Amino acid sequence: MRIAVIMEGLRPDGGAEALLRTFADHVATTDHSLTLFFLKPLTPEIEQYLTNLNLPYRVHHARRMVDVPRLLRLARDLRDVDVVQTNLVGPNVIGSLAARIAGKGSVAVLHNERTYADDHFYHGKAERFALQRLAARVVAVGPRTQQARQEFLPDVTIHVLPNAVAPGPVLQEDERAAVRSELMTNSAGSMILNVARLNRQKAQHNLIAAMPVVLEQIPDAELIIAGQGDLEAELQNQVNTLGLSEHVHLIGTRDDVRRVMAAADLFALPSSWEGLPVALLEAMEAGLPVLATAVGDIPSVIDGQAGYLIDDNNPKTVADAIIHALTDDARHDKVQRATELVAKRFNAETWANTMLDHLSAAYATRPGSST
């Protein structure tokens, strides 16, 4: 099959992007081919990154979600592929519609139990229409995500395919020390890591607000936040206002985030809502203790045995949980359970083959198919 994957944009350390890399690596070992389509402009660095990976791509940018000229251009380009996979709200709407115009079957992937479309009346209605009427198959990243979205899509069969993670690097002690020296004021301190987009969903503002309480108990703790987003300036201002510049570091987007994970002491993700975060699975695979809010499909992975769950993400709760996780004698047992769980349940090859099965089923729905 000639497969098209449609996304908003691309960041080196994003969850959907990590899955894309995993899928692209697997497709390269098969007779299938992959072409990427983006709805937002790419930076020169990302363009070079895609060129280095030998992944063909096209950009169809427009100022509005529903832009007729863009829609028609995208539909025209999709005539050269066999089947389409879309991810997140904009691509699910535009990609599913363009695929239908081009006479192609499509698979829409739901990455969160809720989306920004839930706060935007027209975008929400457009996505529900696309998922109900246009996509040949709908896939959710976990059972909680499926259940939450099924409420609004009662007539749609939503298949569950949990996210997966490929093995990351194993650092030698000198490599680990070098990463910590680069990122921390005191490389001998406790390194808390957050990897996510900088937005309200990921709640980095609560993580930063928790640090003064953490420092009362663990004075050498430092928080490293990897990612970019709309709240970058606001979060940096919060760090400065709280006098935390030596203990909280916003390091932007990294293309070596798996190395950073391998150098950290704790991964913290106090999201307000989620699906099944790839970064969480990557941290677990890296042998890093993980702490996250009990939202989306996170409880089905951590369940109190493979990490630390919190019921809400207010700063006091987050601070107490961080202190406990960094001082808990049982954290090594949790890490062992986590790495075993990821290897068993979130295997990258199994995930990629199952996604190909979903795409094959969507391909069979194209006009003129005999099935």
Q: Give the CATH number for residue 127.
A: 3.40.50.2000
Which pLDDT belongs to residue 368?
56
Do 353 and 332 fall within a single domain?
no
**371 within some domain:** no
- Domain of residue 232 covers 173-345
**368 within some domain:** no
Cα(189)–Cα(222) distance, integer angstroms? 7
Predicted TM-score (pTM) of the model is: 0.84
Which pLDDT belongs to residue 117?
52
- How long, in residues, is the chain? 371
Per-residue pLDDT of the chain (371 residues; tens, 9 = 90+): 999 999 998 876 667 777 888 899 899 999 999 999 999 999 888 888 888 888 999 999 998 887 999 999 999 999 999 999 999 889 999 999 999 999 999 999 998 877 555 566 677 788 899 999 999 999 999 999 999 899 889 999 999 999 999 889 999 999 999 999 999 999 999 999 999 999 999 999 999 999 999 999 999 999 999 999 999 999 999 999 999 999 999 999 888 999 999 999 999 999 999 989 999 999 999 999 999 999 999 998 997 789 999 999 999 999 999 999 999 999 999 999 999 999 999 989 999 999 999 999 999 987 656 44
**72 within some domain:** yes
On whether the CB atoms of residues 204 and 196 are closer than 8 A, the answer is: yes
Do 40 and 122 fall within a single domain?
yes
Q: Where are the alpha helices (DSSP H) in the chain?
A: 15-27, 44-52, 68-78, 89-102, 121-129, 143-150, 173-183, 204-217, 232-241, 257-263, 278-285, 299-302, 315-327, 331-345, 348-363
Do 145 and 67 fall within a single domain?
yes
Which pLDDT belongs to residue 54?
86
Which pLDDT belongs to residue 214?
98
Do 151 and 193 fall within a single domain?
no
Cα(99)–Cα(141) distance, integer angstroms? 22
**103 within some domain:** yes
Domains contained in the chain, number: 2
Do 95 and 240 fall within a single domain?
no
Do 310 and 184 fall within a single domain?
yes
Do 197 and 332 fall within a single domain?
yes
Do 133 and 216 fall within a single domain?
no
- The sign of the CA dihedral 366, 367, 369, 371 is positive
Do 115 and 216 fall within a single domain?
no
Q: Which two tokens stand for residue 251?
A: 């390091």
Do 120 and 226 fall within a single domain?
no
Name residue 225's beta-bridge partners. Answer: 194, 250
